[in-house]
Structure 1
Amino acid sequence: MASSAAPRVAARRRTRATKREYDDTCCEECGSGEFGSELLLCDHCDRGFHLFCLRPILPSVPVGSWFCHSCSSSSSKNINKTTIPRFPLVQTKIIDFFRIQRSSQSVCQADIHQKKRRRARSLALTSKKKRRLLPFTPSEDPARRLEQMASLATALTTTGADFSNDLTYIHGMAPKSANRPAYEKGGMQVLSKEDTEALNLCKTMMKKGECPPLMVVFDPLEGFTVEADKCIKDMTIITEYVGDVDYLKSRENDDGDSIMTLISAANASKSLVICPDKRSNIARFINGINNHTPEGRKKQNLKCVRFDVDGEARVLLVANRDISKGERLYYDYNAYENEYPTEHFV
């Protein structure tokens, strides 16, 4: 790393500005103007960031254009709402998009809801000793569920992503064998049998076309975001965070704004992240809070928790209080790690 006495130069080549213009540039994260050779400039706003102050840390200057988190995030928010191609509200198209089991159409919905109610009660009975996770309760109106799924299909189609409700392991990235919770620094909590059953029930309901009671909406400031479409109880499983699994070391130069930690290993080379840019579910559109302000923390109504589920690390988003209908969902992107800056979050 360069010393503070090193001449101040921009880490990126510039064609429209002179070196003198960067003499007063300071890092937006630490406020220091030292280590000039490590100061990376955004190609849009010209603000400076030390390579070692970014999260994830950048080992070197990226090849090609580089944009700070605020500018890269704003690009997705500049979508004109009137130009978003709405996914057609056609049952057959939605069934194909989400690969819903067609045989489920003959299943009596009343029987399914009765089974879910019995399951929910059995979970609640054990809450005196330990709070159990609850499976989500879908909206009862099938037409409303189609609208909810269509809103998610619209967001995925607009952002160029395919729907997936599972972690995916792609050739050339991290293999499934690398997802070992034992690598987690300090250990990873194991999801109990009861909570695993609740998670599996959520997965089963999704396969039958019974989705969480959530609506993806477009906001000019926040971009795509998620609202509760009915009241949701505290400790309800909202969704699993899914996408392609990769090594963190392979994503240190990635400009994706939704990469999620899967394993934070004692050996950094074994750390894994979830990348939802190509394959994802509704978790991709749930926004993080600015946890540096009291107002931001008040928004939080979900918690992000990593669990060992049958020997595989998984990330769940769970309600951490009762959520009202129409309330937008927010979680602390850092979970309990506090590794990433969130000042730029709305």
Structure 2
Amino acid sequence: MRRSLPVDAAPPVAVGRGEAYENMRCDVCGSGERDEELLLCDGCDRGRHIFCLRPIAARVPTGPWFCPACAPRSKPVKRFPMTQTKIIDFFRIQKGAEDVEAEKCGIFQDVKKRRKRPLVMHKKRRRILPYVPTEDKVQRLKQMASLATAMTSATMKFSNELTYMPGMAGRSSNQARLEEGGMQILPKEDKETIELCRTMQKRGECPPLLVVFDSREGFTVQADADIKDMTFIAEYTGDVDFLENRVNDDCDSIMTLLLTEDPSKRLVICPDKRGNISRFINGINNHTLDGKKKQNIKCVRYDIDGESHVLLVACRDIACGEKLYYDYNGYEHEYPTHHFI
């Protein structure tokens, strides 16, 4: 049984209530088992398992927790208006789509030229592919509006790059050479692909993805078109901070950015205030075979111009309508995923 309390708070005195706590059962499933995952409401003292909540909670929160009956009534999800001007302002879209078309043609022609070169006798490296935006502009507006809806619900601002805020880790701290064991350098051809995708995003040509709400999983991301294996999906973005500053953070989307030998220099990405669609891509259940089969995205850290970046790339063909999943425990195996669907 766990009551969420501030880290430094003293344990509550439960005189005369010890027996009641011993017989505590989950209000949803009726079971008193797994009491280490049974949350006690700070309002009514009733209990609920973290996996019986909707959406499911990954871990016991560090701050106060109230059951649905005691919690302040949450506002219904307000859909972001499908108005071009509002979407342009929210995503800070730049004008000049014709420029990116020329860039796309140049990049794709360059790729074709490279393929015509004589074959050499070594293992062919799999290159990252640029995503293919939806041609229908109305559908693209729908895709961006779905992301804006999720972000405004989470009180987030859109940022398609890593942000370095005062009081957190400075940009000079992000040195890929400090990675324990070394970090792979992003090849030139793949870097060109990432730059192309960033340029397309700035022009409002987003990846063919929709953000939808699921009662069990919360906001999730699904493909709005067929996506080929090795297609670039997004860079994981947000505020960069030192890991030691986020040990007791309730944000469930913190991503490892830099694993240094010195623990005090380890960096994480925190998309609680700023970020992009990567914040809403769900993780697989590492403890079941069915969970592992769902994975269709891989999360890879690369050295790009001397700095660490986290890229999300399709690891197999993804069909239109399929939800996107990746392994939250690709590096450190510390994220609790045993209750994930």
TM-score by length of 1: 0.78
CA distance in 1, matches of 2:136, 2:104: 12
The residue number in structure 2 matching 1:169 is 164
CA distance in 1, matches of 2:37, 2:211: 35
Deviation at 1:334, TM superposition (A): 1.2
Task: Identify which range, 192-201 or 124-133, moves more after superposition.
Answer: 124-133
- The SS at the match of 2:340 is coil
CA distance in 2, matches of 1:221, 1:40: 17
Q: Determine if the alignment matches structure 1 residue 209 to structure 2 residue 209.
A: no
- The SS at the match of 2:319 is coil
Paired residues for 1:90-169 under 5 Å: 90-102=83-95, 104-105=96-97, 107=98, 111=102, 114-115=105-106, 117-118=108-109, 121=112, 129-169=124-164
CA distance in 2, matches of 1:109, 1:136: 14
Deviation at 1:337, TM superposition (A): 3.1
Q: Determine if the alignment matches structure 1 residue 229 to structure 2 residue 229.
A: no
CA distance in 2, matches of 1:124, 1:144: 33
Q: Determine if the alignment matches structure 1 residue 200 to structure 2 residue 199.
A: no
Letter in 1 for 2:176: P
- Aligned pair in 2 of structure 1 residues 110, 311: CA closer, same or farther (>3 Å)? closer
- Aligned pair in 2 of structure 1 residues 269, 20: CA closer, same or farther (>3 Å)? farther
CA contact (8 A) 2:258 2:267 kept: yes
Q: What's the CA shift string for 1:83-109, capped at 9, x where partnerless?
A: 22111111111111101112x15x278
CA distance in 2, matches of 1:17, 1:268: 44
The residue number in structure 2 matching 1:316 is 311
Match of 2:241 among 239, 246, 253: 246
Q: What's the CA shift string for 1:30-75, capped at 9, x where partnerless?
A: x999xxxxx8984444779xxxxxxxx99xx95x5379xxx9xxx9
Aligned residues between the structures: 306
- Aligned pair in 2 of structure 1 residues 279, 21: CA closer, same or farther (>3 Å)? same
The residue number in structure 2 matching 1:5 is none
CA contact (8 A) 1:123 1:132 kept: no
- The SS at the match of 2:249 is coil
Q: What's the CA shift string for 1:222-247, capped at 9, x where partnerless?
A: 11100101111111110000000000
Deviation at 1:118, TM superposition (A): 2.9
- Aligned pair in 2 of structure 1 residues 123, 148: CA closer, same or farther (>3 Å)? farther
CA distance in 2, matches of 1:247, 1:202: 28
Task: Calculate the aligned-residue CA RMSD, in Å.
Answer: 3.4
- The SS at the match of 2:332 is coil
Deviation at 1:344, TM superposition (A): 2.2
Paired residues for 1:254-269 under 5 Å: 254-269=249-264
Deviation at 1:345, TM superposition (A): 1.7
CA distance in 2, matches of 1:22, 1:120: 66
Q: Determine if the alignment matches structure 1 residue 288 to structure 2 residue 283.
A: yes
- The SS at the match of 1:303 is strand
TM-score by length of 2: 0.79
Give the fraction of aligned pairs with identical amino acids, expressed as a percent.
55
CA distance in 2, matches of 1:301, 1:276: 22
Deviation at 1:178, TM superposition (A): 0.7
CA contact (8 A) 2:174 2:307 kept: yes
The residue number in structure 2 matching 1:329 is 324
- Aligned pair in 2 of structure 1 residues 111, 180: CA closer, same or farther (>3 Å)? closer
CA distance in 2, matches of 1:110, 1:268: 45
- Aligned pair in 2 of structure 1 residues 252, 122: CA closer, same or farther (>3 Å)? farther
CA distance in 2, matches of 1:141, 1:123: 31
Q: Determine if the alignment matches structure 1 residue 300 to structure 2 residue 295.
A: yes
Task: Identify which range, 215-224 or 336-345, moves more after superposition.
Answer: 336-345
CA contact (8 A) 1:230 1:324 kept: yes
- Aligned pair in 2 of structure 1 residues 40, 300: CA closer, same or farther (>3 Å)? closer
Structure 2 residue runs of 5 or longer lacking an equivalent are 1-8, 25-32, 42-46, 51-58
- Aligned pair in 2 of structure 1 residues 116, 270: CA closer, same or farther (>3 Å)? same
CA contact (8 A) 1:214 1:226 kept: yes
CA contact (8 A) 2:104 2:196 kept: no
- Aligned pair in 2 of structure 1 residues 177, 266: CA closer, same or farther (>3 Å)? same
- Aligned pair in 2 of structure 1 residues 124, 205: CA closer, same or farther (>3 Å)? farther
- Aligned pair in 2 of structure 1 residues 129, 17: CA closer, same or farther (>3 Å)? farther
CA distance in 1, matches of 2:154, 2:268: 20
CA distance in 2, matches of 1:287, 1:124: 35
CA contact (8 A) 1:43 1:65 kept: no
- The SS at the match of 1:230 is coil
Letter in 1 for 2:84: Q
CA contact (8 A) 1:89 1:150 kept: yes
Deviation at 1:195, TM superposition (A): 1.0
- The SS at the match of 1:94 is helix
